[in-house]
Structure 1
Amino acid sequence: MILLDGKSLAQEMQESIATEVQQLSTHGIIPSLAVILVGNDPASQTYVNMKARACKQVGITSILHEMPKNITQQDLITMIENLNQNDKLDGILVQLPLPKHIDTYEILESVCPQKDVDGFHTQNSGKLFSGVKGFVPATPLGIMTLLKHYNIELQGKNVCIIGASNIVGKPLGALMLNKNATISICHIHTQNIQFYTKNADIICVAVGKPNLITKDMVKEGAIIIDIGITRLESGKIVGDVDFAHVAPICSYITPVPGGVGPMTIVSLLRNTLESTKNRLNR
């Protein structure tokens, strides 16, 4: 069994990104990212802080816009439209989830596709499903980068993805389909998930339910990508896979933490840098 070490790969990528950012800065060009945080959800604040810290480490300017929980949808859209018009701003990220009174789809659609470094705008998701270059959501992009780094071939493989969100499951499925894998996407209404997992060469799980994937659901030699993350009452952070019992029968598996999480952050940095390069070429 080999651990897919996202932490060390992300560190290597951060160093490479930092070098590119430094080269751009010698020409007076500083990549910049605007992060919008609505309300005071503790988990969202933690994620925003992690992104800001990572930006600082590579020299990307990160600007946090903290909005009250009761902001109106129109006021939020107006603010995003103003950011869209800022020629020196390369990326706009709206931290999810948003308060229930706000239509998340409308907010994400108001972000300029050229600055949509989260890859959530339908223009970018449409490009992804069509196999055309565009911004790809950070978590699926990070997973694909990790698999490529370990020379894991996707062509002809049976892949089971558990979790059908627009943020992870669906775009990850599209990326793997574009690499000629055969995809099954399971969700809350799927009957007998074990049928799909037992036949899978690669299992990707993004649910947020500890020990959802157990040893009896996995075939010998399978590759496990554990995307879920849960903090137990004890303070321990775990994924969706019963790691202690599943890992010994796998060929590769991501640890939690230290697997997909760091790759998500560095992929956001990479998207922001790509947006800067696109700006210079427009």
Structure 2
Amino acid sequence: MSARILSGKEIAEKIKQDVKKELEILKEKGIKPKLVAVQVGENPSSRVYLNAQKKSCEAMGIEHEVKNVNQDTTENELIQFIHTLNNDSSITGIILQLPLPQGIDVRKVQSNIAVEKDVEGVNPANLGWIVYGRPLLAPCTALAVKELIDSTGVDLYGKEVVMVGHSDIVGKPVSMLLVDKFATVSICHIGTSEKGMLETHVRMAEILIVAVGKAHLIKGDWVKEGSIVIDVGINKLGDKIVGDVEFDVAKERAWWITPVPGGVGPVTTAILLRNTIIAAKMLNRQ
């Protein structure tokens, strides 16, 4: 068999159309969403990403601004700057662009972003709401993974899900989102790999999600026949961009599989736009 390619572009377009409708309603009420991205220092790759983000926002009619902070800023100064943005009523969404300079506690700064302006869902309070089964503003990539799985029409109840990677913005929140739908979720990480058990777990997965950032970590012949494969990884291998899963072999075994690029990425961007609308509605009690 050959897998169906789970393209993120079509799903992203549908989300964007919904965002446009919501945006029109907000603008009729005089509400204008504005997203501010905070960048500390200069990072060329971050600049490329932020320019793409700005383009996506402006194409939808959402105002986007990048605030540059000096590389030598202290943690306290950065937190005070975040508080200034929190208190600015014209701003409805805040993004903290990573990486931050050494010596600054990322989690501490993220925890100071106002919960209702935290469009990336990185404030511990927003992560906590996922555990309660009531996600308000959840991490965009985690929501994108859930959106892609839902688009296949699969019933998650009792499904064997293997999540490879346990980051705060993908692995952990994805696991909680799926557990809330009564999926049976196993989380694999470096401990699983070092014990030689990664392949064993992957072979059991009816739904396999991989978010590690290591090219072709998951061999294609490990993939269970008829499974759904969501590859979050994006890596450079020679002159190619590849995922964490060995795509060419895996697609001959899976039922659905996301490509890299073109799978999770476009949906993540669309979810950011949707979160921006949700934040604007929360702030204005809509």
Note whether the superposition's TM-score is higher than 0.5: yes
Residue in 1 that maps onto 2:229:
224
Residue in 1 that maps onto 2:34:
32
Kept in 1, the 8 Å contact 2:228–2:255? The answer is: yes
Match of 1:28, SS? coil
Match of 2:266, SS? helix
Residue in 1 that maps onto 2:283:
279
- Which of 247, 254, 258 aligns to 2:251? It is 247
User: Mapping of 1:124-139 within 5 angstroms?
Assistant: 124-139=126-141
How much has 1:247 moved relative to structure 2?
0.5
Residue in 2 that maps onto 1:92:
94
**Aligned length in residues:** 281
Match of 2:284, SS? helix
Find the aligned partners of 2:5 and 2:42 in 1 and give their Cα distance: 35
How much has 1:67 moved relative to structure 2?
1.6
Kept in 2, the 8 Å contact 1:157–1:181? The answer is: yes
Question: Which runs of 5 or more structure 2 residues have no equivalent in the other structure?
Answer: none
Match of 1:37, SS? strand
Match of 1:212, SS? coil
Find the aligned partners of 2:282 and 2:5 in 1 and give their Cα distance: 35
How much has 1:23 moved relative to structure 2?
3.2
Find the aligned partners of 2:245 and 2:165 in 1 and give their Cα distance: 13
How much has 1:230 moved relative to structure 2?
1.1
Residue in 1 that maps onto 2:180:
178
Residue in 1 that maps onto 2:118:
116
Residue in 2 that maps onto 1:263:
267
Letter in 1 for 2:213: G
- Which of 59, 62, 68 aligns to 1:60? It is 62
Find the aligned partners of 2:28 and 2:12 in 1 and give their Cα distance: 24
Find the aligned partners of 1:230 and 1:133 in 2 and give their Cα distance: 29
How much has 1:52 moved relative to structure 2?
1.1
Kept in 2, the 8 Å contact 1:22–1:59? The answer is: no
Q: CA RMSD in A?
A: 1.3
Match of 1:244, SS? helix
Match of 1:281, SS? coil
Find the aligned partners of 1:205 and 1:254 in 2 and give their Cα distance: 11
Match of 1:64, SS? strand
Letter in 1 for 2:189: H
Find the aligned partners of 1:119 and 1:16 in 2 and give their Cα distance: 20
Q: Deviations over 1:176-235 (max 9, x none)?
A: 11110011111112121011101110110011111111123211111100000013341x
How much has 1:72 moved relative to structure 2?
1.0
Question: Which runs of 5 or more structure 1 residues have no equivalent in the other structure?
Answer: none
Residue in 2 that maps onto 1:202:
207
Match of 1:211, SS? coil
Find the aligned partners of 2:187 and 2:109 in 1 and give their Cα distance: 27
Match of 2:31, SS? coil
Identity percentage over the alignment?
39
How much has 1:44 moved relative to structure 2?
2.0
Q: Deviations over 1:115-151 (max 9, x none)?
A: 1111111111111111123211000101111222221
Find the aligned partners of 1:189 and 1:51 in 2 and give their Cα distance: 35
Kept in 2, the 8 Å contact 1:18–1:57? The answer is: no
Find the aligned partners of 2:144 and 2:177 in 1 and give their Cα distance: 11
Match of 1:248, SS? coil
Q: Deviations over 1:219-269 (max 9, x none)?
A: 1111100000013341x2111111111111100000111100011111111
The worse-fitting range, judged by mean Cα deviation, of 123-132 and 7-16 is 7-16
Match of 1:134, SS? coil
Residue in 2 that maps onto 1:165:
167
How much has 1:152 moved relative to structure 2?
2.0
Find the aligned partners of 1:249 and 1:75 in 2 and give their Cα distance: 52
TM-score (norm 1): 0.96
Find the aligned partners of 2:236 and 2:59 in 1 and give their Cα distance: 26
The worse-fitting range, judged by mean Cα deviation, of 263-272 and 38-47 is 38-47
